[in-house]
Structure 1
C-alpha cells in the first residue's frame, strides 16, 4: 500500500509548475482604473510656477469660485485664470469677466522674487477696469515651527 502511495505521490509531483497570472492582472487593472479616476482630480493650480510670500494675517474668502486670479512669476509673465496673457489681453479678459454689475474680487499671486514695481503697475491696471471691487495680494501661511 505504501508503494502505491509513494508512486502516486511521485507522479503528482512531476507536473510542470504553472504561474497563475489572474491575480496579477486583476491587481494591475485595478491600479490602472484607480489612477485613471484620480488623475483628472489633480488640478494644476497655476500656469506659472510661483512661490508666494509668507503672511502673518490669515484671511480667507468664502466665494473663491467667483473671484479672478492673476498670477505673476519672477520673470514677469502674467497668467489670468491659468492662461498666460499679455497686459493688454489681461485688461480685455478682465472686462469680459466683469461684464455684470457685481463687483468682483481680484487676487494677485506674485512670486516673492517678482519686482515690486511690476506688481504695483499690475494692481493699478486692474483698478482701472470697471467691475473690480477689490484687489487682494495672496500670501501663503508661514510654516509653524515645532518649538511653538
Structure 2
C-alpha cells in the first residue's frame, strides 16, 4: 500500500492512503493463465461400447427358452423354483450353471416370499452366484405368470 504526504504550505491534513493495484493485477493474470492452461485438460472422456454388427449369414435362431428370463423363487416353506420348476437345493448350482452356459446373458431374477426364511433366501442367492449368475436382480413386485 502506498501513501502520499501533502507538500507545500498548506494545512497539514495528514497522510492519505492509496491502494497499489499492481500486485493484484499480477496475481489475477497469473491465475487467468493457469486456468487457460488447465481447462483443456479437464475435458471428460466417456467410453462407449457398441455392439458388433452381426453377419446375417452366421446368425442362428436362438431357442425359444433363450428369450425367457431366469426367475428363481423361494416360497414360504423354503422350496426353490427356477421358472416354476421345483429344484432341490443340492442341484441348484449345477442346474443354473447349465442354464447360463446356454444363454448369452447371465441375469437372474430373484423373488422370495415375504414369509420365507432369510437364511434360505441368502443361501439361494449364494448358490445362484456360484452357478454363474453375474447379475442378480431382486424383484419387488410379483412376476406375471
TM-score (norm 1): 0.46
Larger helix fraction of residues: 1
Does 1 or 2 have the higher relative contact order (CA < 8 Å, sep 6+)? 1
Compute the TM-score of the two structures, normalised by the length of structure 2.
Answer: 0.47
Mark the structure with the bigger radius of gyration: 2
